[in-house]
Amino acid sequence: MTASTYVARKPGPDGNIHYTEEENAVWQTLMTRQLNCVQHRACNEYLTGLARLDLPRDRIPQLDEINRVLQPATGWRVARVPALISFDRFFELLASQQFPVATFIRRREDLDYLQEPDIFHELFGHCAMLTHPAFARFTHIYGQLGQNATPRERGFLARLYWFTVEFGLLNTPEGRRIYGGGILSSPGETQYAFESDKPEFRPFNMLDVLRTPYRIDIMQPIYYVLDSLDDLFAIAGMNIMAEVHKAQQMGLFAPTFTPKQTAV
């Protein structure tokens, strides 16, 4: 795993992380522009969760503030982690209903794109959805599966996470809406998913998802779309590892992008 140029912030003697004025200003910039961007594009379940979190606009919140909302809602907590963690640690945390949050925020020069997830991506992109029982259940099951999977199996499971938790879309009576944190926390990806004629939108199919390569450093050429967020309950109840083994036997689809080392 490539080392990060960022270092997660640690709490002071009072138990709080004391962010600088510039770090809080970056948070405020990200909050302001992305709140405007997700209106009429995010699913109602996300917007409801975001209202429950009541994230401050002018400062980076403390993780305890998030936990006071998540725990009563679905039993989840957020856990402070370094900028990058191992896959073993990642799955261990999810399996224990703890969502990893690296306590650093991107620099202003990285405002539009950052490869490693920062606190804005994790809190704004993911934590609102963790107030929803179906999303919370799916993420918990995913962590349990990943904990016991082989490295090769984890590669296939990573595609399931990518096309749901990170880049998932939802059909609603009002039209297509976002529930994936990788889109919700990115102005560019949000606009691309709604305004570009380049991406392909496919109905969610487990085997197809597991066999679809992706790259982390480009706008996504393919999105998989659920008909209801409650479909995640059904997906969590499937024999996912049996589907992983089928996908392993069938092999990956040809990529719809120029391959790079970052393709998964």
Q: How far apart are the first and last CA of the chain?
A: 13
Residue 105: other Cβ atoms inside 10 A:
24
Residue 176 backbone phi and psi in degrees, to 5: -70, 135
Residue 100 confidence (pLDDT): 98
Query: Contact, 41 vs 139, CB < 8 A?
Result: no
What distance in Å separates the CA atoms of residue 127 and residue 194, rounded to the nearest whole number? 23
Reported as a single tens digit per residue, the pLDDT across 29-72 is: 999 999 999 999 999 999 999 999 999 999 999 999 999 999 99
Domain ranges in the chain?
21-250
Residue 39 confidence (pLDDT): 92
Q: Report which of 132, 197, 188, 191 is spatially closest to residue 165, judged by C-alpha positions.
A: 132
Amino acid (one-letter) located at 22: E
Specify the 3-state DSSP secondary structure of 203: strand
Q: How much is the average pLDDT of 217-244? A: 97
Q: b vs e for 247-257, b when ≥16 Cβ sit within 10 Å of the residue's Cβ?
A: beeeebeeeee
Which residues carry a binding-site annotation? 121, 126, 166
The CA–CA distances, whole Å, from 123 to 6, 222, 234 equal: 17, 25, 26
- Beta bridge pairs of residue 176: 171
Which residues carry a binding-site annotation for Fe cation? 121, 126, 166
Residue tagged 């609102």 (tokens) = 128
Q: Tell me, what DSSP letter sits at residue 197?
A: S
Query: Contact, 119 vs 67, CB < 8 A?
Result: no
Q: Tell me the percentage of the chain whose pLDDT exceeds 90.
A: 92
pLDDT tier at 112, thresholds 50, 70, 90? confident
Query: Contact, 129 vs 46, CB < 8 A?
Result: yes
Q: Output the six-digit token pair for 31.
A: 């909050």
pLDDT tier at 259, thresholds 50, 70, 90? confident
Q: Is the pLDDT of residue 264 over 70?
A: no
Q: Tell me, what DSSP letter sits at residue 42?
A: B
Q: How much is the average pLDDT of 132-145? A: 98
Residue 262 confidence (pLDDT): 53
pTM of structure: 0.95
Superfamily designation of domain 21-250: Aromatic amino acid hydroxylase (1.10.800.10)
Reported as a single tens digit per residue, the pLDDT across 74-103 is: 999 999 999 889 999 999 999 999 999 999
Amino acid (one-letter) located at 192: Y
What distance in Å separates the CA atoms of residue 2 and residue 240, rounded to the nearest whole number? 29
